[in-house]
């Protein structure tokens, strides 16, 4: 479940699409996370994720990002959600390594639906 606060109408729609895609890709056979997403001006970062326990997360994403940056950043944070839920060490290196691939596949899925 995704709850979105702030951001433009396009960012809210995009967030829901990204959440659904990432859940299908990253959590195909497990309980889906519950995410409170706040899209606003984030100081000193493009985004961050906080694990609140029991599959619940709070994510903040910078509202001034371009659409492509927003997609990549959302994917990056969902990789962290996956890491938390898998019980592995949260790795920025791994998130940076896979964010673009996940974002590219998301954009390809949109093209296929069009």
The structural domain count of the chain equals: 1
Average confidence (pLDDT) over 21-50: 92
Once rounded to an integer, what is the mean pLDDT over residues 80-84? 95
DSSP code per residue over 32-48: PPEEEEEEE--TTSSEE
Question: pLDDT confidence of 76, banded at 50, 70, 90?
Answer: very high
Task: Give the angle subtended at the CA of 59 by the CAs of 82 and 104, to the nearest 5°.
Answer: 60
48-65 tens-digit pLDDT: 999 999 999 999 999 999
What are the angstrom distances between the C-alpha of 12 and each of 2, 30, 89, 92, 96? 10, 25, 29, 25, 23
* pLDDT at residue 3 tops 80: yes
Rounded to an integer, the average pLDDT of 42-53 is 91
Flag whether pLDDT at 45 surpasses 90. no
Look at the block and give the residue holding tokens 């990789």: 79
The tokens for 39 are 């899209």
User: Rounded distance, CA 39 to CA 101, Å?
Assistant: 23
Question: What local confidence, expressed as pLDDT, does residue 112 receive?
Answer: 83
pLDDT digit string, tens, across residues 101-114: 999 999 999 888 76
* Residue numbers of the domain that contains 49: 2-113
């Amino acid at each position: 479940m995704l709850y979105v606060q702030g951001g433009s109408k396009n960012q809210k729609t995009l967030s829901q699409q990204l959440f659904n895609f990432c859940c299908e890709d990253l959590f195909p056979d497990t309980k889906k996370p519950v995410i409170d997403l706040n899209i606003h001006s984030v100081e000193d970062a493009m985004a961050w994720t906080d694990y609140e326990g029991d599959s619940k997360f709070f994510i903040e994403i910078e509202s001034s990002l371009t659409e492509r940056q927003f997609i990549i950043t959302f994917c990056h944070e969902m990789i962290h959600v996956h890491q938390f839920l898998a019980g592995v060490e949260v790795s920025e290196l791994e998130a940076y390594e896979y964010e673009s691939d996940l974002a590219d596949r998301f954009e390809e899925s949109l093209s296929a639906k069009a």
